[in-house]
Structure 1
Amino acid sequence: MPPASRAASLWLAAMPLLFVVLWSTGFIGAKFGLPYAEPFTFLFIRFALTLALLVPLAHWLSGEWPRGARLWGHIAISGLLVHGAYLGGVFYGIYLGMPAGLASLLVGLQPLLTAALAGPLLGERLGGRQWLGLVLGLVGVALVLGGKLDPGEALFQGFGAGALLAILVALAGISGGTLYQKRHCTGMPLLSGTVVQYLAAGAVLGLGALLFEERSVTWTPTFALTLGWLVLVLSIAAILLLMALIRRGEASRVASLFYLVPPVTALQAWWLFDEALPPISLVGMAVAIAGVVLVVRGQPATGGRRRT
């Protein structure tokens, strides 16, 4: 195999793992940054800085923009779901007191929801091996974080129904956004389409900041570094990877990658905050990874809609 082809193959193989590592840092970034800014204000600043970098990048690297008002509308709706509802829900839930690990676990239910909806909405079909993988992934996620949840504390004290509702909005947003983009945005230029998504989500979150928040920010080195990481690594690098993965794979397979986010988040929390990883968490990581492998490598049943 020529060196260029070998490098391309290695990059394609590394994309899912790299995405999981980068995406999982979003929960850590929320934990670092939310003490210094309210969630909608925090996200609006993040999106504004992201657009300041991404607009010239899209013009320089591509110059191609979505064609037609209909496609612009579909891309904007997907942005409201993938960025506005998901990030807004996660940040607001953590801001209201939900532990970041619990938020990650609940959002980790996405693959089951996506797989259940992908059949009627996209015509995708999962075989028995893939369904087994989805169940194993869910069990693995529960094992990883289950030991960190105290029913007497984390589930019933420290946060109320508002935090739980916010996380459920995030779950619905990322699941629905993945499916909606796969069905309606297949012709979306990667860079400029992401710009449209951030414009739509940023406008709604900015309105939320105006209506519901005081918009005060405490500018500290920690907040500035966290914001820079979230802009450059999460809002640009990880999101472009996600868009590319959605374009390359079926929605349910892409969603299965999110099973790995809670275990990786737990590892990062252990490294950054000295949170212990009991043996059951290590077992859960192995189970979750096995589930992802089954979903990704299992052959879908025939009769589904072909990938585009």
Structure 2
Amino acid sequence: MSDRAAVVQQNNVPAGIALMVASTVVFALQDGISRHLAGTYNTYMVVMIRYWFFAAFVIALAARAPGGLRAAVRTDQPRLQITRGLLLAGEICVAVFGFTVLGLIESMAVFICYPLMVAALSGPVLGERVGWRRWMAILIGCIGVLVILQPGMGVFDPWAVIPLISALMFALYGLLTRYAARRDSAATSFFWTGTSGAVAMTAVGLWFWVPMTAPDWGWMAALCVTGVLGHGLLIKCYEMAEASAVQPFAYFHLLWSAVLGLFLFGETLRPAVMAGAALIICAGLFTLWRERKQR
């Protein structure tokens, strides 16, 4: 435990930034593989297999930690922890489905507004105070979303709200995680996230099972590995540096997703998407800056 504390106190920001950027590369690859597989097979089945590997990872991680599985399982708020797990599993299903109908670029450009949703909902959910400056940033981020969706330009595509729903679900998951952290450790929350999500997705995904080809099993293995690798990099990132210092670099996820969308999936990058994403990112960075300043 003392070695872990020493790493945190060191606050190696350059190393933390490098790990955050590396995790965004891995998560973007994961999104691309998810889009490929979900375009051929059912989304529930793809997410179910992904969760099996994720659950195995968190169980192995918990078993090696001090106190073992018994310490990881122990919580006096199981309903909250299960709700978190179900919410994240549902969000992943919505997000992956969005990749198949909208593409990586359009989906991620809207999804990156989730930090602004966290800021907006932190008041009613957590009782935190949100000042007028952050409310202005949230409003600017909303304008950015409207620029991307363009609801007044011709016929509005109803599928365009999918990444917005995904962002809202992920924001709620993040808020519930912060709420759970008041009484549970990060290891406990991580364990319940993986196991409860795996149980839920198995109950749903088995009904949509179809045989997979050998090459696609290879892609599925890659999807599972990138999921574990991405979470591992993220955990190490937050051990190396403060979250407020490295969080802005999470926006690189959009950049890598755009590269994959353009060059692998033949997607297009509309000027409205670039303009709207720029507004959302600027608003999100300002919100992170204000939160760090207040702390």
Quickly name the TM-score band, shorter chain normalised. 0.7 to 0.9
Contact 2:22 2:233 in 1 (8 A): no
**2:243 is the alignment partner of 1:237:** no
Question: Aligned-pair RMSD on alpha carbons?
Answer: 4.0
**2:92 is the alignment partner of 1:81:** no
**Cα pair distance change 1:202/1:233, threshold 3 Å:** same
Contact 1:49 1:231 in 2 (8 A): yes
Q: TM-score, normalised by structure 2?
A: 0.73
| Residue 183 of structure 1: how far off its partner (Å) | 0.7
| Residue 271 of structure 1: how far off its partner (Å) | 3.5
**Cα pair distance change 1:283/1:101, threshold 3 Å:** closer
| Residue 200 of structure 1: how far off its partner (Å) | 0.8
**Cα pair distance change 1:68/1:238, threshold 3 Å:** closer
**Count of residues paired in the alignment:** 282
Instruction: Find the counterpart in structure 2 of residue 265 from structure 1.
Output: 257
Instruction: Find the counterpart in structure 2 of residue 8 from structure 1.
Output: 12
Aligned identity (percent) is: 17
| Residue 272 of structure 1: how far off its partner (Å) | 2.7
More moved, 262-271 vs 14-23? 14-23
Match of residue 170, structure 1, among 166, 169, 179: 166
**2:289 is the alignment partner of 1:297:** yes
Q: Structure 2: how far apart are the matches of 1:241 and 1:50?
A: 14
Q: Structure 2: how far apart are the matches of 1:206 and 1:91?
A: 17
Instruction: Find the counterpart in structure 1 of residue 95 from structure 2.
Output: 90
Larger helix share, 1 or 2 = 2
**2:224 is the alignment partner of 1:219:** no
Instruction: Find the counterpart in structure 1 of residue 76 from structure 2.
Output: 70
Contact 1:74 1:184 in 2 (8 A): yes
Match of residue 121, structure 1, among 100, 118, 125: 125
Alignment map for 1:50-199 (pairs within 5 Å): 50-64=54-68, 65-66=71-72, 68-82=74-88, 84-94=89-99, 97-140=101-144, 155-156=156-157, 167=163, 169-191=165-187, 193-199=189-195
Structure 2 residues without counterparts, runs of 5 or longer: 1-6
Match of residue 49, structure 2, among 29, 45, 50: 45
Q: Secondary structure at the match of 1:297?
A: helix
1:242-287 residue CA offsets vs partner (Å, 9 max, x unmatched): 7986xx669xx96x87766445422331243354546665555554
| Residue 30 of structure 1: how far off its partner (Å) | 2.2
**Cα pair distance change 1:264/1:232, threshold 3 Å:** same
Contact 1:76 1:200 in 2 (8 A): yes
| Residue 218 of structure 1: how far off its partner (Å) | 2.0
Q: Structure 2: how far apart are the matches of 1:220 and 1:141?
A: 40
Q: Secondary structure at the match of 2:211?
A: coil
User: Which letter maps to 2:259?
Assistant: L
Structure 1 residues without counterparts, runs of 5 or longer: none
| Residue 182 of structure 1: how far off its partner (Å) | 0.3
Q: Structure 2: how far apart are the matches of 1:169 and 1:280?
A: 20
Q: Structure 2: how far apart are the matches of 1:77 and 1:218?
A: 31
